[in-house]
Structure 1
Amino acid sequence: MGRNTRKRRTPLATKVIAASAALALGGGGLVWANFYASAHEENRWSNNTRSAGAQIATISCPDVGLKLRNVPRKARYGVARELANLDKQITDAYTRLASTRQAQAGDPGFVQNAILGPLKSKRVAAIDRININIQRVGGTAPRGLERLAQCKGVPAEQPQPNDGNGDQDNGGQDNGGQDNGQDQGQDNGQGQDNGNGAAGPVADDFVDITTVQPNTPPSNGNGFKANGDTGSTGSFTTFCGVNENNNFNTDNLIVAPGVDNGARHTHDYVGNQGNNAFASDQDLANANTSCQNQDDKSTYYWPVLRLQDGTQEFDQNELGGGAEGNLGRILKAETAGIKFVGNKQGDVVAMPKFLRIITGAANAFTGGDANANASWSCTGFEDRQLTDKYPICPQGSKVVRTANFQSCWDGQNIDSANHRTHVDFVEADGSCANGFQAIPQLQIRLVYDVPAPVIENGQVRTPFAVDGFPEELHKPITDHNDFINVMDEDLMNRVVECINSGQDCQ
């Protein structure tokens, strides 16, 4: 598959990193043996570990970024770089964790002394630099950030999210954390990797969609969520393709502006064709767009879905790709539906140009699910939505990823320091809390023709998985989606008019 992205590393550096990742993610049973052998525990998320000697599956760290709510604008670039550095530190520590299993087996203090201890020291230094960036421009750094430096190993027996962000909420959004009627504690048999040399997903990450009980009201017939028959009932659909231009990169302009490989996984991009870590708002405004309506230069992007079938993609040896555990054939969506809908309480107001919204959380497995918003299903079964499982679809049915974005805006800011607090989800009755205003809700529905994975003897063969941070083990709950509004103001006003007048426009 081709690509549209710049070269990232020198060949030597790439080879060194790829070799390290290959060791960490090797297909032999040494690395991942027994990781999930005791998954039959009734409470997989318990904070109590059964054995001090339990092997550590991954690393969980508090999310520093979520605590940064009032960063002065002049400090945000430097803070963003340090947050990206914190992410990289976790990945480096995880790579070392996965490549030193023999040393860990011989020394019960190895993980703490050789991995978690040094990681804490590095995080302390990065947090200090965050404080300096804020104070240098006259701001006040949040108190107690240094308490977030300590990370912990997550035992294979009881993988658990970090509880350091327990005071965060998702604005009242119901993420449907159902157990789907399934025994989440099923034994994974041999407990090794999935046979493809990748650290996840595993058999327990999948469920037969036909065995899941309906848990979501029926859609309006085309898979999109209907907001109700009151308020602003119209919609606006924009057609931007499925990344026919092969526009991929591993940047994240919202979270890590100016940071090469800031996402550490590969994104599909539709709409704006100029989105990379170094793009300014003016660059986005001047870029080409894949949308049929050329006045929509918005950027819509999401982590790619891969089939772990042994294919060596263009990024097999690159950071963000195979060098960081994102392996296999990139699958493009068969269709990418992009729709804006209204609010069941009343009218919506126009989104400001360059408004940024992230929905979902790339670290939802290890960092806590406060901002998780993953939604997986199959065509023909979209009244059954999964948050923490990938669906196994029956013959003739296709995998569906859905993202329903936050649709309440603070009325002032196009972004916030933690990229969360300037927008919010509606309350259960459709209202916006805290004086926020209702804006058009973006819904993105991606449909994939994916071969159904096969589970045999507790192992999954040729699974599909979303790209992500390696320490997140490709869990489905980590799915997320990003959007920057770069619509022409006249077009945005038309979107609002269509929605508020009850019309269905495109």
Structure 2
Amino acid sequence: MQWTLLAATLVAQHAAAQSMLRFACSQLVVERTDPLVDPGKKYTEHLHQIVGGNAFNVTMDPAQDPAQLSTCTSCSFQEDMSNYWTAVMFFKHKNGNYIRVPQVGNGGPQGKLVNKGGLDLYYIPQGKVTAFKKGFRMIAGSPNNKDTTRNKGNICNRCWTSSNENQFVGGAPCTGSDSMDVPADPKCKMIRQTVIFPHCWDGKNLDSADHASHVSYGGSRGASGGGACPASHPVRLPQIMYELMWNVTEFADKSIWPTDGSKPFQYSTHQDGASAHGDYIFGWKGDSLQKAMDAKCNLDRDCPKGGIHYQRPDKYSACTKPQQAPEQVDGWLKRMPAGAPAVKA
């Protein structure tokens, strides 16, 4: 108990010393599209939850600016029309049916974030950083990865043993017992998923064929703002981190878990936690992100000197859009959405 309190205190002190944006994004839509990996395709191989500006579409033409085309954002800063998306976590019942795991906002030393599904966003600077440019996009992780040691310091899952997301559990992200595997332990009340993006840019390419080669993690791992950047990628970016709180409390009874050797909690990639990944398309209005970083704007507060403005949860959570690849994604399903449209159980 004393160590937990000490760890929470140290994290809170670190956050106070290092100004960073930390804010909530509710779900814009849950559907099988992926305009980075499969532009123009409907019913992609796995399901995503997408947050951010409502200009999100199947193609996301790099020549078009989401900041200009969006009329609302599901994120709490009204200047942020970027799009962020991740795979979805499902619970598999022993009868073979699946259901999406519900989500809650994150809590902890920096205060509770409120979202309707979705995820929590961090923009963590270390020293002087260069904001992303119009048309910038990237991916962290891979939906095809099966290696549970690859990228472990930047993509991880934590068994959250408290039923209260405000009660801090563990140390910094992707440290201690955090794993790339999804925990399968009845003691877990929640599973916190963390996806940390590269923070070094080659300074030239807004994207690359694999959506990853134009960026690099540099000399360190974890949510520190990033270490030294290599000569190949010399431009330091704000470090982006996704946090998701999957509430598994209602599935803690092992008698309903699969008996066929499969895991109870699975990402929509049909693979283990190693396949966790995140996609990002930049869409902040004008130079608002650069100003916010230069002004050391902090957490999810209004920051007049940085020109960014907080909007209330009822406002950003109301920003949604219809599925572009319509199918059943709520309630019990006979299978996870893949291939043909999902079928209600």
The TM-score normalised by the length of structure 2 is 0.65
For residues 281 and 84 of structure 2, the distance between their equivalents in structure 1, rounded to whole angstroms, comes to 7
Indicate how the Cα distance of structure 1 residues 226 and 480 shifts in structure 2: closer, same or farther if over 3 A, else same: farther
The residue aligned with 1:467 is: 268
1:13-412 aligned at under 5 Å gives the runs 218=7, 233-241=18-26, 243=27, 245=28, 247-262=29-44, 264-281=45-62, 282=64, 284-285=66-67, 286-287=69-70, 288-309=72-93, 328-335=98-105, 336-343=119-126, 346-365=127-146, 373-379=154-160, 380-382=169-171, 383-392=175-184, 395=187, 397-412=189-204
One-letter amino acid matched to 2:36: I
One-letter amino acid matched to 2:82: S
For residues 296 and 457 of structure 1, the distance between their equivalents in structure 2, rounded to whole angstroms, comes to 41
2:33·2:42 contact (CA, 8 Å) conserved in 1?
yes
1:400·1:445 contact (CA, 8 Å) conserved in 2?
yes
**Pairwise CA RMSD of aligned residues?**
3.5
1:392·1:452 contact (CA, 8 Å) conserved in 2?
no
For residues 136 and 204 of structure 2, the distance between their equivalents in structure 1, rounded to whole angstroms, comes to 10
The residue aligned with 1:117 is: none
1:415 aligns with 2:198: no
One-letter amino acid matched to 2:228: S
Indicate how the Cα distance of structure 1 residues 352 and 427 shifts in structure 2: closer, same or farther if over 3 A, else same: same
1:298·1:484 contact (CA, 8 Å) conserved in 2?
yes
How far 1:423 moved relative to its partner?
0.7
For residues 369 and 273 of structure 1, the distance between their equivalents in structure 2, rounded to whole angstroms, comes to 36
Instruction: Report % sequence identity.
Output: 23
How far 1:461 moved relative to its partner?
8.1
For residues 457 and 487 of structure 1, the distance between their equivalents in structure 2, rounded to whole angstroms, comes to 43
2:143·2:275 contact (CA, 8 Å) conserved in 1?
yes
What is the aligned length? 260
One-letter amino acid matched to 1:249: E
Q: Which has the higher strand share?
A: 2
Indicate how the Cα distance of structure 1 residues 447 and 311 shifts in structure 2: closer, same or farther if over 3 A, else same: farther
One-letter amino acid matched to 1:334: V
Indicate how the Cα distance of structure 1 residues 396 and 419 shifts in structure 2: closer, same or farther if over 3 A, else same: closer
Unaligned ranges ≥5, structure 1: 1-213, 313-326
Aligned equivalent of 1:439, options 226, 237, 257: 237
For residues 446 and 305 of structure 1, the distance between their equivalents in structure 2, rounded to whole angstroms, comes to 10
For residues 459 and 310 of structure 1, the distance between their equivalents in structure 2, rounded to whole angstroms, comes to 8
The TM-score normalised by the length of structure 1 is 0.45
The residue aligned with 1:34 is: none
One-letter amino acid matched to 1:423: V
Q: Which has the higher contact order (CA 8 A, sep 6+)?
A: 2
For residues 85 and 264 of structure 2, the distance between their equivalents in structure 1, rounded to whole angstroms, comes to 23
For residues 250 and 406 of structure 1, the distance between their equivalents in structure 2, rounded to whole angstroms, comes to 25
For the pair shown, the structure with the greater C-alpha radius of gyration is 1
For residues 273 and 457 of structure 1, the distance between their equivalents in structure 2, rounded to whole angstroms, comes to 38
1:307·1:329 contact (CA, 8 Å) conserved in 2?
yes
